[in-house]
């Protein structure tokens, strides 16, 4: 890989033997292996059987999971927030495992639409909940650094499975909870409008 990176530096007009670039191939190789580490990840090992039988049938939501991925079209980053919800049937999944699951699929060459579906499908497969919902909001550097160069645009994708797809009321409850930030978490009075919190 390092030889390929040196050749790439030559092709873009650089000198890979100059001081600042001598160790770049090694650093890029290390970075790419980390950013693509999701290919080698075993979902079952990552989740580590953290499934628990509980008497709970209300919505479980993990919001604002930071994620970073690489666009498969340009190998440029896209990044943002992932929000995951599910309604258990008999089992719940350890809360810390959900961000880990997001990372497994984000650390691959991706498109946001497929990434969203992979997270939802895996949760459905592992704990068979009544429904799963995943919403992802991301900034794509292939749009802001190049191409249309729209720095303030972002993409939103969603996957709604089971009761979230079938029941509009359940779906709207989830989406409304995503828009809500508790005053205590935001550090602001309860009567501050949501738009101000977002700003």
Query: Domain limits at 12?
Result: 2-35
For residue 75, being part of any structural domain is answered with yes
Residues 64 and 130 in one domain: yes
The pLDDT tens digits of the residues spanning 137-169 come to: 999 999 888 877 777 788 999 999 999 999 999
For residue 192, being part of any structural domain is answered with no
Residues 52 and 118 in one domain: yes
pLDDT of residue 194 exceeding 50: no
For residue 194, being part of any structural domain is answered with no
What single string gives the DSSP state of each residue in 134-197? EEEEEEEHHHHTSTT--TT--EEEEEEEEHHHH-HHHHHHHHHHHH---HHHHTS-TTS-HHHH
Residues 131 and 86 in one domain: yes
**pLDDT reported for residue 150:** 75
pLDDT of residue 188 exceeding 80: no
Residues 172 and 131 in one domain: yes
Among residues 101, 140, 146, 142, the alpha carbon closest in space to that of 122 is found at 101
For residue 90, being part of any structural domain is answered with yes
Among residues 19, 24, 18, 20, the alpha carbon closest in space to that of 4 is found at 24
Residues 142 and 117 in one domain: yes
Ramachandran quadrant class, 99 (left: phi over 0; alpha: psi -120 to 50; beta: rest):
alpha
For residue 197, being part of any structural domain is answered with no
CB 133 within 8 A of CB 86: yes
Supply the CATH number for residue 161's domain.
Answer: 3.30.1130.10
Among residues 76, 135, 141, the alpha carbon closest in space to that of 109 is found at 76
Catalytic residues: 71-74, 112, 140, 142
Residues 68 and 17 in one domain: no
Residues 29 and 72 in one domain: no
Residues 136 and 98 in one domain: yes
Q: Percent of the chain, pLDDT > 70?
A: 90
Residues 106 and 77 in one domain: yes
Between the alpha carbon of residue 175 and those of residues 29, 37, 128, 153, 154, the distances in Å are 40, 31, 21, 20, 18
Confidence of residue 184 (pLDDT cuts 50, 70, 90): very low
Q: Which residues pair with 132 in a beta bridge?
A: 86, 161
For residue 167, being part of any structural domain is answered with yes
**pLDDT reported for residue 46:** 96
Which one is predicted more confidently, 115 or 142? 115
Residues 129 and 155 in one domain: yes
pLDDT of residue 185 exceeding 60: no
For residue 176, being part of any structural domain is answered with yes
Domain total for the chain?
2
**pLDDT reported for residue 181:** 62
The pLDDT tens digits of the residues spanning 167-179 come to: 999 999 999 999 8
Lowest mean pLDDT among 57-61, 121-125, 192-196: 192-196
Residues 22 and 54 in one domain: no
Residues 28 and 75 in one domain: no
Q: Helix, strand, or coil here: 46?
A: helix
């Amino acid at each position: 890989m390092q030889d390929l990176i040196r050749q790439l530096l030559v092709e873009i007009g650089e000198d890979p033997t100059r001081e600042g670039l001598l160790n770049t191939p090694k650093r890029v190789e290390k970075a790419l292996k980390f950013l693509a580490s999701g290919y080698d990840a075993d979902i079952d090992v990552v989740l580590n059987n953290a499934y628990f039988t509980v008497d709970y049938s209300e919505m479980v939501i993990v919001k604002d999971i930071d994620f970073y991925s690489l666009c498969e079209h340009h190998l440029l980053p896209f990044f943002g927030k992932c929000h995951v919800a599910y309604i258990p049937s008999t089992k719940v999944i350890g809360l810390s495992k959900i961000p880990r699951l997001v990372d497994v699929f984000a650390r691959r060459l991706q498109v946001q639409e497929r990434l969203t579906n992979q997270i939802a499908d895996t949760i459905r497969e592992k704990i068979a909940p009544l429904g799963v919902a995943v919403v992802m909001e991301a900034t794509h550097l292939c749009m802001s650094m190049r191409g249309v160069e729209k720095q303030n645009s972002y993409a939103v994708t969603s996957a709604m499975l089971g009761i979230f797809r079938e029941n509009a009321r359940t779906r709207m409850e989830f989406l409304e909870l995503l828009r809500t930030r508790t005053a205590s978490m935001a550090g602001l009075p309860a009567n501050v409008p949501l738009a101000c919190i977002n700003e």
